[in-house]
A and B are shown apart, each in its own frame.
Chain A
Amino acid sequence: MSPRPGFMLEVDRSTPPTLFWHGEGFHLERLPEGSRVLYGPEPLEALADPVSAIRRALFEPLGDSAPLPELLRPGMRLTIAFDDVSLPLPPMRRPDVRQLVIEQVLDVAAEAGVDDVVLIAALALHRRMTDAELRHALGDRIYEAFAPHGLLRQHDAEEPAALVLLGETDQGETVEISRRAAESDLLVYVNINLVPMDGGHKSVATGLASYRSLRHHHNARTMQHSRSFMDQEHSELHSSNWRMGRFIAASGVKVFQIETTLNTDTFPEQFRFLQRREWEWTARDRAAFVASSSALARTPPRVARTIFHAIRSPHRMTSVQAGEVEAVHARTTANVYAQQLVEVDGQTDVLTMGLPYICPYNVNSIMNPILVACLGLGYFFNMYRGRPLVRQGGVVIMSHPTPWAFSPVHHPSYIDFFEQVLSETTDPLEVGKFEESFATDPWYVHLYRTGHAYHGVHPFYMWYWCAHALEHLGGVIVVGGDRAAVRRLGFTPASTMADALEMATDVVGPGPSITHLHAPPLVMADVR
């Protein structure tokens, strides 16, 4: 049976309660009559033979590019960059897409006799990956052939000797990327395009860049003018990255881009009910829901977190294309839309969403309040094309426990940002005053380079991600969250959804239209 497209459900009296994510847990909420619920399309068929598809992509590239074997010759310098642990979400089952693609690339490289090969995790300012995470993404064979010799590296945006300044675009944007990547004869980038924001020129221009480059598009102004940053045609973030990417190509860096898309078969068997429509739940699904939600209610948060972060998603590759960056990305974007896009008529007054336990920045870690805001007002709010799902001045209601908890290993600068910057101001334009001191703080730099910490400036980027939403909305309410933490974020705490809807009517007026975003699995709204 072919997968059904997504659609907008009108809630009536016979509609069963809707599933809401709530961090490391979920519950059922009865939405008022007349609300709408946006369901994403069902997962598309994965490729039956991914390895052949990859080989075909390498040998039959798109755009102005020769097939990979012709680009390789003995004695050349080859660099293979790949997306870091923030993709895909949740982490895939083995074998990871990156493992499959890079193994094929290395087979071709071995046949061509290329000796000087280096692999780089394109972290930008994200945290370094642990050895276990690298093994998971690349597989043991690649790890053991490269890691012991120091040829499996992680991008270091704070080591001046490892960066090279290529110049400035015509808009004055500094372009500074990894020296190894820029000075290679060929740079192969292996991407996983989970959402339409990823990929294209952004892979190299952001993933292998330094703070000096990133600040030109990772700022509040750019994000406010990206409507949305998931729609590259209308995104200031993408315009800037495209300029930088074209500049990088013009500077002589040869990039062979390999992009892949995944289907939205997100949850393993025991959590299958999370991606099924509620009225189609079988008796098994209902039993699984009851069992898991009551077990989770009794589980201490730490244990619940361990359980959830151990989930390995069964999502698989649906397409792979390789070659010249822009040609490849056009095909990739079309494939992502085919899996995730749903047409929606009109905007709504109130948008509700249940936030899961994971976002790109807390894989195997704690979801702190800043990341909750980023996931809700950054990612989910911006999953639209055309106009936001919620109208100007509307209200977003998010459901998440929002614990006042931070990982001191992964997010040390977030703690200081939350305690000392947000207590002064929550305006994304105003917090920029402190950005420089966090970005250049020597201790954060040390932790980023040698530990597993996000860069000192990263919490600012999380806050900038919310800039468009904060400018657009009339209010933000968090249901079931830690009250002090929610207030520190500048949002309003509510204990139940009913209370939240009451509070929302104070902002949007009586009898508001309500839409619930039933995600994950990922869904993007094409709003007319």
Chain B
Amino acid sequence: MRGLVFERNLPRFAAARVAASLAGSGRGIGVSPLRLTDLDAPELPGPGWARVRPLLAGICGSDLSTIDGRSSRYFEDIVSFPFVPGHEVVGVVEEPAAQGGPDAGTRIVVEPVLGCVARGIDPPCAACAAGHTGGCERVAFGHLAPGLQIGFCADTGGGWSAAGLVAHVSQLHPVPDALSDEDAVMVEPTACAVHAALAAGVVPGETVAVLGAGTLGLTFLAALRHLTRPGTVLAGAKHPHQRRLAAELGADVVVEPDQLTRAVRLRSRSLEASGGLTGGADVVVDCVGSAESLTECLGMVRPRGRLVLVGMPGTLRVDLAPLWHREVQLVGAYAYGTERTENGTRRTFDIAMEVVGRYELGGLVSAAYPVERFEEALAHAGAAGRRGSVKVVFDLRPKRRSRNGAAPGRVEEAIR
């Protein structure tokens, strides 16, 4: 079965980095270590594991970073080569687990984080015990190869392969029939957004500014509206379709990214000094993760406010004097686990499914490609904003039937 595999090959890694910086994100595929090849289905690591056949598998910003060679070297120890990428997966259970879990044929979404439970480590680490699997301390240990998530682990396979993947029963979430496949593939990114929205700790009535309106930014806006009661929400979006979607998903003020500071200034009635505002928004969310975006965000958060870093950063050169001088809290937000809400303790994925259903976030899936056309898919994903798209996915469904019933082999574009 055909699938994509990412191998350890330093010269190619470096070459991909150069190619991506010259030609753009996702364009260095030809020289990168990513290959299309025949793959066997991975072995089940244990009785608690099930085999999953993917229907749709999303392309995430972190995947693009890895392929472009831009990801931080921090991840080297918690990734094992060769791995099949793809951690945003909606699939069907092909072979149920020996012990418990959903039956064969159930449509599920995969929660990719490989925590202590999945790795068969007992007793679990403090983070897993508390339900924060994203913070698991043992992602490089246990009877599985190191890997923070399915899609970065040599033993589990991943979403970008027709051969499928294996997942622990704790990682399988059945999908209600009301959600379409496209809705379901958005659940994992939305879960990141939900977790970030709760980590932001928005007090009712606060001003929130969101910089970046790709998948992360847009799902964040939806989660923010669903879970918190902010005062004014401002969004900075580069492309017209993003601005339209941001407004639909609940942003009160939508402007271009370089105008966001001005808009925040006007709303908060602050003054300007030292290249930023003297006052600013209560919470600022960076959904981009670059040095420029972080600097921009530091300039628009109020003293003692919170800056939530949701977009995955690398090694950045940022002047932290504003952070120190204005006592800003810099909060990282990664992945998901369980959340404490006013309705009790719930798993992030459950909340995410609610948000996806309420806002019909499946409409953000702009294009679906077969795995064989991975170069086009990744180039599209890398240039999604410029090309009027939001989320690009791989379509591994057998009959390739989409919502508009296009013929097999063709790319379906479904922009809302």
Taking Cβ atoms with an 8 Å cutoff, the residues of A that contact B are 415-416, 419-420, 437, 441-443, 446
Contact = CB atoms under 8 A, between A and B. Distances in A.
A69 B270 CA distance: 50
Contacts of A416: 262-263, 266
A419 B272 contact: no
B259 interface: yes
Contact of A420 (B266, B269, B270): B266
Contacts of B259: 419
A125 B93 CA distance: 71
A130 B7 CA distance: 65
Given A419-B255, A420-B253, A441 B269 contact: yes
Contacts, number: 25
A462 to B, nearest CB: 18
B271 interface: yes
Nearest to B259: A419
A320 B383 CA distance: 67
Contact of A419 (B262, B269, B270, B271): B262
Contacts of B51: none
Contacts of B265: 443
A420 B263 contact: yes
B380 to A, nearest CB: 27
Interface in B260-288: 262-263, 265-266, 269-272
Interface of B is mostly: mixed
25 contacts: A415-B262, A416-B262, A416-B263, A416-B266, A419-B255, A419-B259, A419-B262, A419-B263, A420-B253, A420-B255, A420-B263, A420-B266, A437-B266, A437-B269, A441-B266, A441-B269, A442-B269, A442-B270, A442-B271, A443-B265, A443-B269, A443-B270, A443-B271, A443-B272, A446-B271
Contacts of B271: 442-443, 446
Interface in B239-265: 253, 255, 259, 262-263, 265
Interface string B305-343: 000000000000000000000000000000000000000
A511 B67 CA distance: 65
Interface string B282-310: 00000000000000000000000000000
A446 B273 CA distance: 11
A506 to B, nearest CB: 28
Contacts of A419: 255, 259, 262-263
Interface in B177-232: none
A484 to B, nearest CB: 11
Contacts of B269: 437, 441-443
Contacts of B270: 442-443
A44 B291 CA distance: 63
A416 B265 CA distance: 10
Contacts of A443: 265, 269-272
A490 B201 CA distance: 41
A345 to B, nearest CB: 49
Closest 10 CB pairs between A and B?
Answer: A443-B271, A416-B266, A441-B269, A442-B271, A446-B271, A419-B259, A443-B272, A416-B262, A442-B269, A443-B265
A224 to B, nearest CB: 28
B297 to A, nearest CB: 19
B115 to A, nearest CB: 46
A357 B266 CA distance: 30
A443 B272 CA distance: 7
Contacts of B253: 420
Nearest to B272: A443
Contacts of A442: 269-271
A510 B272 CA distance: 54
B239 to A, nearest CB: 15
Nearest to B271: A443
Nearest to B266: A416
Given A441-B269, A443-B269, 13 more contacts: A416-B262, A419-B259, A419-B263, A420-B263, A420-B266, A437-B266, A442-B270, A442-B271, A443-B265, A443-B270, A443-B271, A443-B272, A446-B271
B280 to A, nearest CB: 12
A441 B259 CA distance: 17
A458 to B, nearest CB: 15
A178 to B, nearest CB: 25
A419 B267 CA distance: 13
A446 B269 CA distance: 12
Contacts of B255: 419-420
Q: Give the residue among A415, A416, A443, A446 with the most B Cβ atoms within 10 A.
A: A443
A420 B232 CA distance: 15
A415 B262 CA distance: 9
A415 B261 CA distance: 13
A416 B261 CA distance: 11
A412 to B, nearest CB: 9
Contacts of B266: 416, 420, 437, 441
Interface string B24-58: 00000000000000000000000000000000000
A459 to B, nearest CB: 13
B246 to A, nearest CB: 14
A431 to B, nearest CB: 14
Nearest to B277: A443
A63 to B, nearest CB: 47
A442 B271 CA distance: 7
A122 to B, nearest CB: 27
B101 to A, nearest CB: 52
A420 B263 CA distance: 8
Contacts of A441: 266, 269
B21 to A, nearest CB: 31
A441 B267 CA distance: 10
Nearest to B256: A419
B54 to A, nearest CB: 43
Interface in B124-143: none
Interface string B338-369: 00000000000000000000000000000000
A419 B265 CA distance: 13
Nearest to B278: A443
